[in-house]
Structures are given as C-alpha cells and as structure tokens.
Chains A and B, each alone.
Chain A
Amino acid sequence: MDQDRIRNFSIIAHIDHGKSTLADRILEVTNTVTGREMREQVLDSMDLERERGITIKAQAVRVDWKGHELNLIDTPGHVDFTYEVSRALQACEGAVLVVDAAQGVEAQTVANAYLAIENNLELLPLANKIDLPQANPDAAADELAELVGDTPDRVLRVSAKTGEGVEAVLDAIVERIPPPAGDPKAPPRALVFDSAYDQYRGVVAFVRVVDGQFRAREEVRAMAQGTRFETEEVGFFSPTMRAAELLEAGEVGYVVTGLKDVAKLRVGDTLTSQARPAENPLPGYKDVKPMVFAGLYPTDSDEYPQLRDALERLKLNDASLSYEPETSQALGFGFRCGFLGLLHMEIVRERLEREFDLDLLVTAPSVAYQVETPSGERLEVHNPADMPSERERVEEPYVRASIVVPKDGVGQVMELCNERRGRFDHMEYPSPERVLLVYELPLGEIVFDFYDQLKSRTRGYASFDYDFAGFREGELVRLDVLVGGEPVDALSLVLHRDEAYGRGRALVDRLREEIPRQMFDVPVQAAIGSRVIARETIKAKRKDVLAKCYGGDITRKRKLLERQKAGKRRMKQVGAVEVPQEAFLAVLNLDGGKR
C-alpha cells in the first residue's frame, strides 16, 4: 500500500474514559467485525481469538476506511507501563486523546498527552460520553484544547456508546494525522512495540515497519539484543490474524518469530534484515528493569509447585516480570518477584489468584536499593532482609509524580507529598478548576498505600501518574521485627530513619494484638541493627483448660481439641512461637492499609 493511504494511530485515555468502547465502535463502523462477531470490547477480549484457536490478543488492528488503511494500535492501559506506552506511540503518527466529558482531564490524560507530544504525534482531542446527562462537552473541550494547544471547535464530540460522531473521528484521522514517511527502498527497519507468546508458534512480535520490507522465511536480527531468527510468517490482524506476503514501510502487523522466550525480544528493539542490515537502530530502546519487589508465598505451602508453574506461564507473556526462589523462615518457600510498578504487581497477583486459583501471602512491597558497602562493593538489594548492616551509602529510586486534583484538594495533596518526603517541582493549571502538581517522591514511599491515601484524602478526585526519575542517596535504615528473639525475615523493612520509630511501634503493637498468647512469655521487638526501638511482651497464658469433663462432655471436648490441633497446623513457626497466618496478613495489611 502507498504510504499516503496509511494512517497509524492509538487511542489514549485515562482509565474508564471509554477507550475500549471507541475501539469497538471503530471496528464496527468500518465493517471489520460483522454484527454477529461484534462483542463488547473486542480488542480486550481473548474469547474471540480463543474460539479460533489463537491464544494471543491483537495489539494492532487494521481497518479500511474510504480507501485508506488505518492501523489502530493498542497501548498498555496503565501507569507502570509508561515505557511500553511510549513504544506503542512511537509506532504511530497520531493519537486520539479521549476524555470523559463528565469527568474532564485527569492525570493519565495529561501524562498520555505529554507522552504523545514527546513522540511528535498529531493529537486528536475527543470528548466522549456526550450522551450522559451529566456530561459537559464544552468544558471538556475547553480543557482538552488548553492541554493540547488547539481550539475547542476542533475537539471531536462523540458517544462511543451510541456511535454518534464515530464516522467523523475516522474522517479526522484520515485528514489530520499525517501518513508515514519512511523510506521503502532503505534497508528494512521495524520497531517492536509489543510481543506475545503463543504456545504453538512461539513469540509473536508486533511491529511497525519504518523502512523497507519484511517477508516470511527471512533472516532477521533484533539490533539491541542481537537475537537472530527466521521469520515464519508476517501478517496483520483484521481483527483476526491474517498472513500477508509482506509488510512494507509504514505498515503495522505481526511477525511470527519461532522464538521460545519473550525475554529474547524486548519491546523497543529494532528488527532489521540479516542480508541487508540497517546501519542504526530506531532510537529510544531501553532495557526496563523491575523497580518494585515483593515476596509471594502460597498460603498453603503445598501449593509452592503450582505457584512456580503459574509464574513460569505468566512470564512467557510478560518479559518485565522477574522472579527468583526465596525462603522465609516465617512464610516458607516462595518467590521474590520484581515488577515495573505497583499496578503491575497488582495485576500479576490478581492473575495468579484468579486464573491459577492460588491463595497468596504477599509481603510489603519494597523497591530496588543500590548499596555501596564499606569495601566499595556495589549491590542491588531487592529484599529488605538482604540489606547489609554495614553500608557506606544507600540510594533509592525516585519518581516524578504528576497529580491532577480539583483545586480545593491541593492542600491535602501537598500535605501527603510532604509527609512522604516529596520534593515539590511545579504546578500547572490545565483548567480553571483543576491543578496539576508535579512532585519528586521516593518510590519506596509510593509503594506504601500512597495511592489509597491520595484517593481518600481527596474523596477520590485526585488522579495520579508517575515515571522513574533516577536513584538518590537517602538516610535509610533496615527495621527488623523480632518475635521471641527471632527476626521475622518477611517483616523486615527499609525506610527513612525518621520513620523507623513510628512504624516499628505500629508493627510491634499490631503483632502483640495478633499473636495469641503462648505457653511462655514472648517478647516482640522492632530493632535497627542491635538497637531495639520498640518492645512489647505477649504474656504467657496462665490457664487453658476446659473446666468440666465428664461422660457427656467427652465428645465435645475431643472436638474442641481437634479444632485446636487443626488451628495449630495453620500456624507458622517463628522459633518456638506459633504465629497464625492472619497475624502476618494483618501486619502486612498495616503496611498497605494504614499508617
């Protein structure tokens, strides 16, 4: 296809502003999906593909509109994947920026808009949900125009639900988004903007061809990672997988690689031909590293093999998930898992629990610390329990956080950011009613219930987005919790020195409430190194008997005893102390839930 007749675009939006519904409607209006095939949220649904024996989800769909080839490229939906979002955007020349006309501009709207602008995309601002009684399309149009530097009359007004205005969106895509401008004659280059794993075909790469052409049965190389493979098939989704003879400059499609490991082909890499290689890769490849870590343990230790298998299977499709076996005295066998961010962690946890039916115990999330020991050795520490007690300096990751909040919530947000060692950067006014606050915050502060606090202190109105901003030195200490003199490795934390006492006290108090009295006194302590900063004692039980036990009581007494024994089996052993799993849960929730 002549590049002039190709348009590549994404739909970007704050969560729940109607991105998927708009995508569905576009497939319908362009007759890509017939009425019978039409399902709600086609792009997000895997059922359709499953029925056809294809297990991977379309990340880009080709549709025809008035003699043009339009490629709709899906972007990962949430804040942890900024880098992935930016790669998907790099595959486009334009983006439809969707805002819920009843909600207005939110933090992810702003973040996505900036990301699109950084990637030099033509932005088509769109006010969605104009059918809603509470919608205010004029106000939304004003905010959008202000945000993207356009005039309100150019903001598209649409109801993706009813279909109103959707054809005008397609016309605007053709008119306003520029065609691709690669060189069809140059050595081939294609950007990998996503990949998926199919159990029969191996890794399938989603690519945007920038220069030249790609065909099946061709030797190809990933330029950053150096991975080589022979293409087994090339093609595109419309909406199902369709093989094509070739993919040429400007087009979007897939390449079946036959690779067995998604980690061999990372998002952002550039494919080129082995026979006629390009000189330079496309710009912007980054090796994304996990930033948030947590221990995942099966509640029932017998489920350890199932957890291992489940992680293996998730990893096939998620190159950014990392895990390694870990043993905790208190929690048994589990895995230390690395995630891009908190949402990524939540998604993985949810999938493990829902798709694999596992019951998990998750330790307090921690971040990656860079530590320099007195001997000059540099370590990256992913588990607070591994933090060496002797250290020269510790650096922790910082993020640049964008928070959009109605203006009467600014005070609360600033207060929260200050409590969390935030450094104010600047403030913007995307609309008269709304303020964008930009702070630099330690990621370690974000992983403890920051988002919940933000929501509760602004009655749910604040929205939040962040991006990694580098490592900085911090005055950090390791806080250990000891039960009966034994450190409970799963409860160790790294935190700022100033917060150690408060959190240590809270942990000790909570554990004292949660651990049942034993047959002996049990000290519960919080300590930094050998210095105990908080202590409580769980006094020994002085009696534990059933008063009466005669002929008619024996069965009842035996049942009580059996229940008591069953309860003991669910206990975790810390030294000689029996700690119910719920105690760990309560304490781990304390980290996530309240301060």
Chain B
Amino acid sequence: MTAVRHLYVHLPFCAHRCGYCDFVTVVGRHGLHERYVDALLLELELERAMLAPRLETVFLGGGTPTLTQAGALRRLLGALPSAAELTVEANPETVTPELALLLRESGVTRVSLGAQSFRPHLLQVLERRATPDDVRRAFYHLRDACFDNISIDLLHGIPRQSAADLELDIGEALALAPEHISYYELEAKPGTRFTHAHGAELAQQAEAMEDYFEIVIERLTAAGYRWYETANFCVAPVRAGGRDLRARHNLAYWLGRDYLGLGIGAVSTFGPERRRNTPRLNGYIAALGRGERPQRELEALAPGVRALERVMLGLRLDEGLPLAAAEGSLDRAALGRLERLGLAARRPGRDGPEALLLTPRGRRLGGAVTAELLA
C-alpha cells in the first residue's frame, strides 16, 4: 500500500452549534482543549507509519478550529507533519490579528473563512455569531498577516434569501477578492433543528431559489473565477500569475486519493477500507489515554466501489476524469444519450488520455447525470 499523503484533523469545538450544522461539534468543554490535542497527537503517532514522510496537504477542519485555545492550537500545528498546503478553517469572529499571526507563524498556508453570508438577517437565520463587519475585518486581519490564499465559504438557498440578497452577497465577496470561494447550497438535512424550524419555508421557496446556483456560477465566472468543482471556485491561473489556487486537499478527495483523518468523527480511506472514528469526545480521549486506537466504524469497500466513487467525484470537476478510469463503471448507451442531450462530453486530453466530463449544464444536473452514466 502506498503511503498516505493527505491528512485531515478534526477540531470539534464551537462556541455555539448553528441550527443547520450536522458536523461533529462540541460546545463548551474548554477544559478539554489541551487533552483533546494530546489525544490527536497520540492518534497521529499510532497512525504515523502509514503516512508519507512529506505530506502534500493537511487540513484542520471543524467545528471551529480557531476557537481552540491558542496554546493548544499552536502546539498542535507545531507537531503536525509539514505539508505543501496547510489549511485551517476559521470563523470570522475568532480571527484577531494575534490569531492570524499565530496561524502564519505556525506554517499555515491557506485559511478558509466561514462567512456564509454578508446579510445580517440571513446570518441571524443561520444562527451565526459573526456580523458582516466581523467577516470583512477577519479577512483584512488575514491579509495583514500576509495570507495570499484565503477562501471564503458562502451559502445560497438560505430561508428568506431574496435574489437581491444573493447579488449583494456575491458583490461583497468579490469586493474582498479572495483567492478561493466555496459556494454551497444550504442543505436542510432531515432531523436537524434547522429543518424543523425552516423546512416548510424552504420547500416553499425551492422553486424561486432554483436559479441561485446558476446565478452564482455566472457571476463568479464572469469575475474571473474558475468553476473547478461543483461548489468551488478559484481565481483562474491567468489572473493569478499562473498559480493553481484549487484547494489541493479537497482535490485529493475528488481525485479518489487515500487520506487519513484524525479526531472525533474523522473519516479515513485507504485501499478497500473506510473508517470513521467515534464521535464521542470522552471515549476518544480515554481510548488514546490508554494508548489504544479510538473506537471506529469500519466500512469495507467492495471491489469496484472506489472506482465508482472516482467517477462520482471526478465528474464534479471541470476537467472530469480520464475515460479509462471510468470505463468499468460506465453505461455506454447512457453516455451516448447524455452526449446528445449536451450534458456529458468526451474530450481528448491536452497531453494525457481522453477525458470524460460534464458540460456546464450537465454539472448543474450532476446528481441525475451521474446516476444515469453509471451502469
């Protein structure tokens, strides 16, 4: 088995759990930050053997990684293996000049700022703590600390979000000129408090909001961003001095690479196996305190599943995937049909093999198109 070159570290602590969130988070429990970081580092030691000596990417996600106490965060960043790209997720209200500096000094190369919106009433609906000013201020603090790769997370399809709200959000984001924008459609997942409160309203607005995704794509591409993944945009290389500003860590997922996840709820995939750590904070800390691996849920990936996932994920990318990699899981007749409908295409690779990809309209209908393409 080849060594893993992508590492995810989960920092679950949050000041408040937002209604729409379904990630593994922990509110309060400040006393546990240090012990949690200890546990993370112990888990890292247990898994170290599978990691390559030099990693391509490390990603600190949450939760709110930047809510972690400064000392603990600094210690963690210092102890992680070095990598070409080291991303940390940050919530705007936690980004002070000191924190920005801490991240910078600790070798962080990229910050992903969870803005979600610039509209006060929408931030309220989302139960976000930051104000629009907090978002802008956080961005400037990061710039001041010389971060030259900042991503902003935004949401569309928020309850009561009008088309004008959407335009304003896009405008505000573009005004900051971030290197990268992740623009997600708000998913009201069943069973969340949010869906309980807003589900009916969202269903009602669904048709009116159907255009939002298209508007986001149009505006951002017009502003010189490359729509390189279903929900992700980066400044195109021609406007970035040739830099490839795609999120390399996430790209690894979409290219079907192996990855190691540390921390509660973290998922790892290598070879024919996927595993998910226990989401229970105490159990996790206790197990590692005993020098044992935390409890995990194992998922054996049947033969062909990784290849199928490769297609499913690869079709989210603007460059698609090598046709040869998709061959085994493809319904040829469906491909022909979708090509005629202008939803899928085959293209000779620039210098590589022939690629299978979706057209822009096909990418907007990616779920249905992919379901049809796969045999």
Contacts and interface: CB of A to CB of B under 8 A. Distances in A.
A543 interface: yes
Interface in A274-307: none
Given A519-B368, A558-B305, A561-B367, A543 B213 contact: yes
A242 interface: no
Interface residues of B, number: 43
B184 A552 contact: no
Interface string B244-257: 00000010011000
A419 interface: no
Contacts of A227: none
B92 interface: no
Given A549-B230, A550-B253, A541 B368 contact: yes
B187 interface: yes
Given A519-B343, A545-B366, A551 B261 contact: yes
B372 A551 contact: no
Interface in B129-188: 184-187
Contact of B341 (A520, A541, A558): A520
19 contacts: A519-B368, A541-B365, A543-B185, A543-B364, A544-B366, A545-B230, A545-B231, A545-B365, A547-B185, A549-B231, A550-B250, A552-B265, A555-B299, A557-B312, A558-B309, A560-B367, A564-B367, A564-B371, A565-B371
A557 B299 CA distance: 14
A551 B374 contact: no
Contacts of A548: 184, 187, 231
A595 interface: no
Given A549-B230, A554-B274, A555-B267, 14 more contacts: A519-B369, A542-B210, A542-B211, A543-B185, A543-B364, A544-B367, A545-B365, A547-B186, A547-B230, A549-B253, A550-B253, A552-B266, A554-B267, A564-B367
B261 A544 contact: no
Interface of B: 8, 184-187, 210-211, 213-214, 230-231, 250, 253-254, 259, 261, 265-267, 269, 274, 276, 299, 305, 308-309, 312-313, 316, 337, 341, 343, 363-372, 374
Contact of B253 (A546, A547, A554, A568): A554
A561 B250 CA distance: 20
B371 A561 contact: yes
A336 to B, nearest CB: 31
B313 to A, nearest CB: 7
Contacts of A554: 253, 267, 269, 274, 309, 313
A560 to B, nearest CB: 8
Nearest to B259: A551
Nearest to B184: A547
A564 B254 CA distance: 20
A207 to B, nearest CB: 61
A11 B5 CA distance: 87
Contacts of B259: 551
A559 to B, nearest CB: 11
Interface in A531-581: 541-552, 554-555, 557-558, 560-561, 564-565, 568, 576
B217 to A, nearest CB: 10
Nearest to A550: B253
Contacts of B366: 544-545
Q: Which of A548, A564, A576 has the most CB of B within 10 A?
A: A548
Interface in A494-515: none
Interface of A: 519-520, 541-552, 554-555, 557-558, 560-561, 564-565, 568, 576
A104 B213 CA distance: 68
Nearest to B213: A543
Nearest to B155: A547
A519 B340 CA distance: 12
A474 B339 CA distance: 49
Nearest to B375: A565
A566 to B, nearest CB: 9
Q: Which of B231, B265, B266 has the most CB of A within 10 A?
A: B231
B336 to A, nearest CB: 12
Contacts of B253: 549-551, 554
B267 A552 contact: yes
A558 B313 CA distance: 9
A544 B364 contact: yes
Contacts of A552: 261, 265-267, 276
A547 B368 contact: no
A240 to B, nearest CB: 59
A558 B254 CA distance: 13
A385 B243 CA distance: 64
Nearest to A548: B184
A544 B315 CA distance: 13
A543 B308 CA distance: 22
B11 to A, nearest CB: 14
Contacts of A541: 365, 368
What are the 6 closest A-B residue pairs judged by CB atoms, nearest first? A564-B371, A547-B184, A547-B185, A544-B367, A552-B267, A544-B368
B275 to A, nearest CB: 11
Contacts of A568: 371-372
A555 B186 CA distance: 20
A576 B276 CA distance: 41
Q: Which of A543, A544, A557 has the most CB of B within 10 A?
A: A543
A548 B230 CA distance: 8
Contacts of B230: 545-547, 549
Contacts of A520: 341
A552 B23 CA distance: 10
A50 to B, nearest CB: 48
Contacts of A558: 305, 308-309, 312
A565 B367 CA distance: 10
Contact of A542 (B187, B214, B267, B309): B214
Nearest to B157: A547
B290 to A, nearest CB: 26
Contact of A549 (B211, B266, B267, B313): B313
A114 to B, nearest CB: 58
Contacts of B184: 547-548
